[in-house]
Amino acid sequence: MASQQNIEVLTTVPFPEAVVQQLRGLSPRIKITFNPATRAEEIPAETWQRTEVLYTDILLPDLALVPNLKWVQFHYAGIDFVQGSDLLNRKELKITSMSGASAIQEGEYILLMLLALGHHIKPLMVNQEKAEWPADRWNRFSPIELTGSTVGLVGYGSIGREVARLLHAFNVKVLAAKRDVMHPEDRGYTVEGHGDPNGDCFDRLYPIEALISMLKECDYVVVTVPLTPQTRGLIGEEELKAMKPGAYLVHVSRGGVVDEKALLQALTEKHLAGAAVDVFTQEPLPADNPLWKAPNLILTPHVSGFSLRYKERAGIMFAENLKRYLRGEALLNEYQSERHY
């Protein structure tokens, strides 16, 4: 893949100095240029001309600017924004995501929300604001325990696998639905000691075509699939109605995967006991959107992947992929056009 000449790496994302030194220490051939640009025209033409490897968040250069570009490593796990880019027209160009680097913090966020929903954290906080000690607190605040429940994972990538690992401590029955049930193992990037690389942490695996059958069994449902033409609207009115009355939903994938109007209806009609949603079709979510006032909805502003250690973990994964690039090996998390991720 790579020649024996210098490998010109352009990064538009600032890394901690320790990460930069780690990347440079991989090989004397690696030459790193840092430019914190948000638009392609902010980077000099000569820099684009010599760039072989681009590390970026969402900056997408025109193909004409980057004649020597061979690989784009994105800073995020979700790269649905690359769909439609002319970068996909260069067949030999490698595109990779950061899938797996955010699994730890996403897993903790999901576990937090599962517990918060079942233990009625939102109504408890409202009660605190009112400074009340209600006489009927047993009926109002007795939890739906996570222990012994059935949790369905819609999508079994790096995030779903980390959640499955964490849930084992709660004696939970874990169901999972994924696109390819014939390969339960994880072929992407996994942080050592985390996730489910061999596909051992679920009790039953469903093909995505049998999603409704899985939903009927679940006390909690977690949605973690990428946004693709196939997953847009995946969780709609039919799927929400198939869920158990009184079940809970946690949604951290991408806006557009869950039908927000159908979710609002399911909450308003109390078919669902509650939900936690971190991603929305329109972001930032407008102040007049009815989801802000939906009953028993914990709404967060797309923060489930935030971590003070994310750049460190992203740098470790980028270093692993750079090693593979130097050796001419297959890269981790390579974008596949037929899957759209």
In order along its 341 residues, the chain shows pLDDT tens digits of 445 689 999 999 989 899 999 999 999 999 999 999 999 999 999 999 999 999 999 899 999 999 999 999 999 999 988 888 888 889 899 999 999 999 999 999 999 999 999 999 999 999 999 999 999 999 999 999 999 999 999 999 999 999 999 999 999 999 999 999 998 999 889 999 999 999 999 999 999 999 999 999 999 999 999 999 999 999 999 999 999 999 999 999 999 999 999 999 999 999 999 999 999 999 999 999 999 999 999 999 999 999 999 999 999 999 999 999 999 999 999 998 888 88
Number of domains in the chain: 2
Quick one: 11 and 97 in the same domain? yes
CB 79 within 8 A of CB 132: no
What string of DSSP letters covers 216-257? TT-SEEEE-PPP-TTTTT-B-HHHHHHSPTTEEEEE-S-TTS
| Residue 241 domain-assigned (yes or no) | yes
- The active-site residue out of 302, 312, 320, 334 is 302
Query: Do 68 and 167 lie in a common domain?
Result: no
Integer Cα distance of 285 and 282 in angstroms: 6
In a domain, 240, yes or no: yes
**Which one of 238, 269, 283, 329 is the catalytic residue?**
283
Residue 334 lies in a domain: no
Q: Are residues 23 and 90 in the same domain?
A: yes
Q: Are residues 117 and 58 in the same domain?
A: no
Q: Domain with 261 in it: what CATH number?
A: 3.40.50.720
For residue 254, indicate whether it is catalytic. yes
Task: Indicate left, alpha or beta for 235 from its phi (over 0: left) and psi (-120 to 50: alpha).
Answer: beta
> Are 110 and 219 members of one domain?
yes
Q: Are residues 132 and 230 in the same domain?
A: yes
Task: Say yes or no: 96 and 108 in one domain.
Answer: no
Spot the catalytic one: 120, 165, 254, 313.
Answer: 254
150 and 63 inside one domain: no
At residue 50, the pLDDT reads 96
Rounded to whole angstroms, how far apart are CA atoms 206 and 180?
9
Catalytic residue list contains 50: no
Three-state DSSP at 76 gives: coil
| Same domain? 271 vs 157 | yes
Q: What pLDDT was estimated at residue 186? A: 93
Q: Is 135 in the same domain as 284?
A: yes
Q: Is 251 a catalytic residue?
A: no
Give the structural domain span for 319.
Answer: 7-101+308-327
Whether 60 contacts 36, CB under 8 Å: no
pLDDT at 86: 87
Do 225 and 115 fall within a single domain?
Answer: yes
In a domain, 202, yes or no: yes
98, two tokens: 């950061």
Give a yes or no: residue 182 inside a domain: yes
Residue 249 bridge partners (DSSP) = 221, 275
Q: Is residue 33 part of a domain?
A: yes
Q: For the chain, what percentages of helix, strand and coil (3-state, to nearest 5) are there?
A: 35, 15, 50
pLDDT at 339: 87
Q: Is residue 13 part of a domain?
A: yes
Give a yes or no: residue 287 inside a domain: yes
Tell me, yes or no, whether 279 and 146 share the same domain.
yes
